[in-house]
């Protein structure tokens, strides 16, 4: 994540301007305490908080956050060690150049303890001079309305400027709050940006949110490393971070102590040389660490406190962008748990070629032409189209036309697995990785598809947690099995497909924008059947021939009424619906023809006269004139058979607006 500081002209004005701002801020604060209204009234949440603060009789002139004892603060920091490590990585990069010297970053625990203040320093510090310091607990009970208590209660980004803070010590500041959430809806910690009140600007909220999201990403990295190793007694891991030119322990799993044969000690300030003796002992080990060498299952003998031990180690170098950690992970194994390797590849399972794709429509022939050209590259491809248009067939055709045609074609439906299982399906797992895992472990789809093509169908349904891991694999071409310690390199071409609007999912924060661009280097849009003209008759005749031959029945023919219906019908289920309709009729009728009556009987109560949707669309103003918006939405959905895209067109509004209104009305 890249964070830019916006520079606003005139921000550092001094003299009369600042004096006037401070005076106005103070007057508004006094007016609020006297129960008077001000021009820029706060929202209802702040007003409710002020009312509660008044009922507690807080001395707003002198109130300061409660200061923890040294022991209490040390315990709090120990509980949030990983959070502080990640926030150090992220925030120090933003403050090290000395720009925006009035800006402060404040890190709060879930309990409201101020753990860190970044920025500033020196003899003069406006935040410290106003009584703000680490090791204090901010709560509405003690200091009244403040940005932490209000933002934490709302569980969303929050801005609180000067006069809206209940206690005087916060009067001269403007504060932007952003929650840090490792689980959706649960606030784990918080980031607050503080600037003098006269420097308040809405862009600060954007920075606060970006910093919080970046910390969340690094925390997820910690969890991933721990998850991959903590479930197997024969593996352990240590994550070492670069800090002031030295590698220090950021994460260590309990298995490491057992594998090394040493007693577990407190890990809060742990240095690895407290477990593994430093130079000149263990020269080979420290040579690997200091030079950041990447090794896999390297046997080494280590001198540790209490004796010597033989282990196998693997390493992985972690270097994120400028806001992420510089570190190395060391995986320890006792060497007794050898995984039986599964085959590295399978045969090509792609059956269809471009010769099998039916279509003479101009749009479709151009799409096929583009697909053939794209097949000759190694770029990732995103195939978009409605359900039933044949995206999987197109993906197989691309593979069989590519230089990888003699290599595996492996498909996985991302909507068919829970978020707990899809990672193991994609990346495989080692023995004992989770309850129910095969004793010998399992190879994932990425390994099976090595040097070939991996088809990710329904990519829009992939859980966000797995999207992050997938993005990393696409960038680095390496991964580890779930519960594994070995870095596996892969050469896989990705073809993804979806019937969803990924741009809307990105807006709804259900799909990563960076993953979208990584997957959609080449974009192919397959048109729906209703836009392919006479292709519908080609498909119908093809299905009739193949199905009649399969069932041992004489070929049937389409009547003029059936052809007219096929040409007018909207085919919401596309090619799949057409195939099912013909198969269903042929399977239940002995006639040598298919007419409009047979089609009507097959569709039953869902049958809709061809052209009815177009007729309804023309009566929009007549039908819904004078109704409120919610009623209009209900009518539009009813007339368009609950097709939301068509309903949005029916009302003449964008799909994103339509979906947002549905959510507001509780109709989604």
The pLDDT tens digits for 543-592 are 998 888 888 888 888 888 888 888 888 888 899 989 999 999 988 888 88
Which of the four pLDDT bands, split at 50, 70 and 90, describes residue 228? low
pLDDT for 330 beyond 60: yes
Rounded alpha-carbon distances, angstroms, from residue 409 to 115, 160, 349, 453: 51, 55, 5, 5
User: pTM above the 0.75 mark?
Assistant: no
Which of the four pLDDT bands, split at 50, 70 and 90, describes residue 161? confident
pLDDT digits (tens, 9 = 90+) for 352-385: 899 889 988 899 999 999 999 999 999 999 999 9
Q: What is the pLDDT of residue 81?
A: 84
The answer to whether the bond into 141 is cis (omega within 30° of 0) is no
Q: What is the pLDDT of residue 617?
A: 42
Domains of the chain in start order, with CATH, are 16-222 (3.30.450.40), 232-333 (3.30.450.20), 354-525 (3.40.50.300), 529-606 (1.10.8.60), 612-664 (no CATH)
pLDDT for 238 beyond 70: yes
pLDDT digits (tens, 9 = 90+) for 401-455: 998 888 889 999 988 877 778 888 888 877 655 555 555 567 788 888 888 899 9
Of 626 and 264, more confident: 264
pLDDT for 105 beyond 90: yes
Helices 629-639 + 655-664 axis angle, to 10: 120
pLDDT digits (tens, 9 = 90+) for 281-320: 888 888 888 888 888 878 888 888 767 777 888 887 765 5
Q: What is the pLDDT of residue 23?
A: 64
Q: What is the pLDDT of residue 180?
A: 92
Dihedral sign, Cα of residue 458, residue 462, residue 467, residue 470: negative
Q: What tokens were used for 72?
A: 């209490």
Which of the four pLDDT bands, split at 50, 70 and 90, describes residue 232? low
For 14-18, 637-641, 648-652, which range has the lowest pLDDT when averaged over its residues? Answer: 14-18
Of 590 and 101, more confident: 590
Interval 389-395 mean pLDDT: 93
DSSP 381-401: EEEE--TTS-HHHHHHHHHHT
Mean pLDDT value across the chain: 80
Of 20 and 514, more confident: 514
Contacts by 163-167 with C-beta closer than 8 Å and gap 24+? 163/25, 163/26, 163/28, 163/29, 163/32, 163/38, 164/32, 164/42, 164/46, 165/29, 166/49, 166/50, 166/53, 166/58, 166/60, 166/63, 167/58, 167/60, 167/63, 167/64, 167/143
- Of all residues in the chain, the percent with pLDDT exceeding 90 is 22
Which of the four pLDDT bands, split at 50, 70 and 90, describes residue 115? very high
pLDDT digits (tens, 9 = 90+) for 646-661: 788 777 777 777 877 7
Interval 619-642 mean pLDDT: 62
* Cβ contact 522:379 at 8 Å: yes
Of 506 and 322, more confident: 506
Q: What tokens were used for 295?
A: 């090794």
pLDDT for 631 beyond 50: yes
* Cβ contact 143:166 at 8 Å: yes
Interval 236-244 mean pLDDT: 74
pLDDT for 396 beyond 90: yes
Q: What is the pLDDT of residue 219?
A: 81
pLDDT digits (tens, 9 = 90+) for 485-532: 777 788 899 999 999 899 989 999 999 999 999 999 999 999 999 899
For 79-93, 121-135, 264-278, 328-342, which range has the lowest pLDDT when averaged over its residues? Answer: 328-342
pLDDT for 621 beyond 60: no
Q: What is the pLDDT of residue 45?
A: 82
pLDDT for 254 beyond 70: yes
Which of the four pLDDT bands, split at 50, 70 and 90, describes residue 227? low
Interval 70-79 mean pLDDT: 88
Q: Please tell me the distance from the alpha carbon of residue 114 to that of residue 230, in angstroms, as a whole number.
A: 31
Which of the four pLDDT bands, split at 50, 70 and 90, describes residue 8? very low
Per-residue buried b or exposed e for 277-296, using 16+ beta carbons within 10 Å of the residue's own CB: beeeebeebbebbeebeeee
pLDDT for 668 beyond 80: no
pLDDT digits (tens, 9 = 90+) for 148-160: 999 998 889 988 8
pLDDT digits (tens, 9 = 90+) for 164-213: 888 989 988 899 999 998 877 788 899 999 998 888 777 888 889 999 99
pLDDT for 126 beyond 50: yes
Query: What is the helix (H) or strand (E) element at residue 560, kind and residue range?
Result: helix 560-568
pLDDT digits (tens, 9 = 90+) for 263-279: 777 776 677 888 888 87
Q: Please tell me the distance from the alpha carbon of residue 533 to that of residue 607, in angstroms, as a whole number.
A: 21
Q: What is the pLDDT of residue 369?
A: 93
pLDDT for 125 beyond 60: yes
């Amino acid at each position: 994540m890249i964070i830019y500081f916006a520079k606003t002209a005139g921000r550092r004005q001094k003299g009369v301007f600042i004096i006037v701002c401070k005076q106005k801020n103070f007057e508004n604060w006094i007016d609020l305490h006297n129960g008077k209204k001000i021009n820029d009234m706060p929202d209802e949440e702040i007003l409710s908080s002020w009312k509660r603060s008044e009922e507690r009789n807080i001395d707003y002139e002198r109130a300061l956050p409660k200061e923890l004892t040294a022991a209490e603060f040390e315990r709090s920091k120990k509980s949030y060690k990983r959070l502080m490590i990640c926030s150090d990585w992220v925030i120090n990069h933003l403050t090290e150049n000395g720009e925006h010297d009035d800006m402060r970053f404040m890190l709060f625990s879930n309990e409201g303890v101020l753990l860190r203040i970044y920025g500033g320093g020196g003899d003069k510090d406006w935040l410290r001079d106003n009584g703000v310091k680490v090791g204090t607990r901010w709560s509405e009970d003690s200091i009244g309305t403040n940005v932490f208590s209000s933002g934490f209660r709302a569980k969303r980004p929050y801005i609180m400027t000067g006069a809206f803070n209940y206690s005087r010590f916060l009067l001269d500041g403007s504060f932007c709050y952003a929650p840090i959430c490792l689980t959706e809806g649960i606030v784990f910690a918080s980031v607050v940006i503080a600037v003098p009140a006269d420097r308040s600007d809405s862009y600060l909220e954007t920075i606060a949110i970006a910093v919080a999201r970046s910390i969340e990403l690094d925390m997820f990295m910690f969890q991933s490393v721990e998850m991959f190793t903590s479930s197997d007694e024969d593996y352990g891991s240590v994550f070492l971070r670069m800090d002031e030119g030295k590698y220090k322990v950021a994460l260590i799993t309990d298995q490491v102590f057992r594998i090394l044969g040493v007693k577990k000690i407190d890990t809060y300030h742990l240095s690895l040389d407290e477990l593994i003796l430093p130079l000149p002992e263990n020269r080979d080990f420290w040579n690997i660490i200091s030079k950041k060498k990447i090794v896999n299952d390297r046997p080494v003998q280590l001198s540790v406190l209490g004796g010597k031990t033989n282990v196998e180690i693997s390493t992985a170098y972690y270097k994120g962008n400028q806001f992420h950690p510089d570190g190395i992970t060391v995986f320890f194994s006792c060497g007794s748990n050898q995984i039986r390797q599964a085959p590295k590849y399978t045969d090509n399972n792609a059956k269809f070629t471009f010769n099998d794709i039916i279509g003479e429509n101009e749009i479709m022939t151009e799409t096929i032409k583009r697909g053939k050209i794209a097949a000759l590259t190694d770029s990732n491809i995103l195939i978009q189209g409605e359900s039933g248009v044949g995206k999987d067939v197109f993906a197989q055709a691309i593979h069989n036309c590519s230089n990888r045609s003699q290599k595996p074609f492996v498909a996985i439906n991302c909507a068919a697995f829970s978020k707990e299982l899809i990672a193991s399906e994609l990346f495989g797992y080692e023995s004992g990785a989770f309850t129910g895992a095969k004793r010998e472990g399992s190879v994932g789809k990425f390994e099976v598809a090595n040097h070939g093509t991996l088809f990710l169908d329904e990519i829009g349904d992939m859980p966000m947690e797995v999207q992050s891991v997938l993005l990393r694999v696409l960038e680095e071409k390496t991964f580890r099995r779930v519960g594994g310690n070995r870095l596996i390199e892969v050469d896989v071409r990705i073809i993804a497909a979806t019937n969803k609007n990924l741009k809307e999912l990105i807006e709804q924060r259900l799909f990563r924008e960076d993953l979208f661009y990584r997957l959609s280097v080449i974009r192919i849009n397959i048109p729906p059947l209703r836009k392919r003209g006479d292709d519908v008759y080609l498909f119908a005749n093809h299905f009739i021939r193949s199905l009649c031959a399969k069932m041992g029945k004489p070929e049937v023919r389409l009547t003029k009424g059936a052809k007219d219906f096929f040409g007018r019908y909207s085919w919401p289920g596309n090619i799949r619906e057409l195939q099912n309709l013909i198969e269903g009729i042929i399977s239940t009728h002995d006639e040598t023809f298919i007419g409009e009556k047979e089609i009507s009987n097959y569709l039953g109560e869902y049958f809709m006269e061809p052209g009815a949707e177009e007729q309804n669309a023309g009566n929009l103003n007549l039908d819904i004139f004078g109704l409120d918006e919610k009623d209009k939405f209900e009518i539009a959905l009813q007339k368009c058979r609950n097709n939301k895209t068509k309903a949005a067109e029916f009302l003449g509004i964008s799909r994103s607006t339509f979906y947002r209104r549905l959510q507001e009305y509780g109709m989604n």
